[in-house]
Amino acid sequence: MKKIARAHTNIALIKYWGKQNAALRIPLMSSLSMTLDAFYTDTYLEPSQQEQFYLNGKLIEGPEAQRVFNYLHLLQRRYGKSGNLSVHSQNHVPTAAGLASSSSAFAALAAAFAEYYQLAVNETELSRMARLGSGSASRSVFGGFAVWQKGTDDQSSFAYSLDSNPDLDLQLLAVEINTGAKKRSSTKGMQAAQTSPFFAPWIKRNSLELSQMINAIKNHDFTRIGQLAELNASEMHAVNLTAQPGFTYFEPTTIGVIQLVHEMRQNGIEVYYTIDAGPNVKLLCQLKNVKIVKEKLVSAFDHVKIINASFGPGIQYLDNYE
């Protein structure tokens, strides 16, 4: 029996938000992420009469399945393989987390493909393969902190490990605000963002922000990591608000959480936020403040759910579902 590929989700602290080549998913900027232990996807492939995609034991049809099949066809063409496959995935990304699962989904799928065909691919090639499914997936090949260097073409655009097992007290609290499907896919969002007058300055700042973040990580400087992550996320959402026409992923509670973060910091509780292509907020803090931050959130917002995560590993291959 072939092994099951496991990939964890990641949260970008320096965001990918723009493509230079849509078909190959080559980004306009380099990005940096933290792989998370709490959320992951397990996937294996089987030969099959008909193409099928099972997610959490349920047969999936429609555009979600088509995206998976199109991706497998692309990899089959790339590696000279053929045949119908059925895909079996278990998503351990609780809906309550409000975290996109495409990073773990496509990294696990790329690894499952390599395992199924017994391809002799290294992690760099696995990262390129994952990138073709979803840009953020390129980083989920690695644990700890990973950098996706933008590159200029298929060969040069891949992620690498910055620190696979960081000796750093960094906790992520995923704050669920709304777990419904996002209003605008990340592909559409980043396309629209390019109409903002702030898009060019946003791209221009990328190499400075990336090198500042890499330094902060090397110095184990939690405060600087938090400040840089919050600034970078705010810039991404500022280009959305200033697009022509403008849009936002924020909901009223998103702003409420941002205000609470500001307030907590004024009161000496060190916490920072980052936000992706949706209304949910992810908070960065240290272990000593997890309890108080959770208490503040729960008392300010009635129904908010919070999930705690820290550093997760890179791709793993397992004999069985655990």
* 157 is an interface residue for ligand PMV by CB under 6 A: no
CA gap 314, 290 in Å, rounded: 25
Number of H helices, E strands in the chain: 9, 14
* 136 is an interface residue for ligand PMV by CB under 6 A: yes
Q: Which of 30, 52, 186, 274 binds ligand PMV (CB under 6 A)?
A: 186
Tell me the closest approach of the beta carbon of residue 104 to ligand PMV, in angstroms: 10
Tell me the closest approach of the beta carbon of residue 291 to ligand PMV, in angstroms: 28
CA gap 139, 155 in Å, rounded: 15
* 276 is an interface residue for ligand PMV by CB under 6 A: yes
* 134 is an interface residue for ligand PMV by CB under 6 A: yes
| Closer Cβ to ligand PMV, 282 or 305, answer by number | 282
Total binding residues toward ligand PMV, as defined by CB under 6 A? 14
CA gap 94, 84 in Å, rounded: 30
> 93 near 39, Cβ under 8 Å?
yes
Give the pairing type, strands 52-55 and 85-92: parallel
| Closer Cβ to ligand PMV, 136 or 289, answer by number | 136
Nearest to 136 by CA among 243, 6, 35: 35
CA gap 289, 270 in Å, rounded: 8
Q: Which of 9, 31, 254, 289 binds ligand PMV (CB under 6 A)?
A: 31
Using the contact rule CB under 6 A, the part of the chain among 56-64, 134-142, 282-290, 292-300 near ligand PMV is: 134-142
* 35 is an interface residue for ligand PMV by CB under 6 A: no
CA gap 215, 207 in Å, rounded: 12
Positions touching ligand PMV (CB under 6 A) are: 12, 15-17, 31, 100, 102-103, 134-136, 186, 276-277
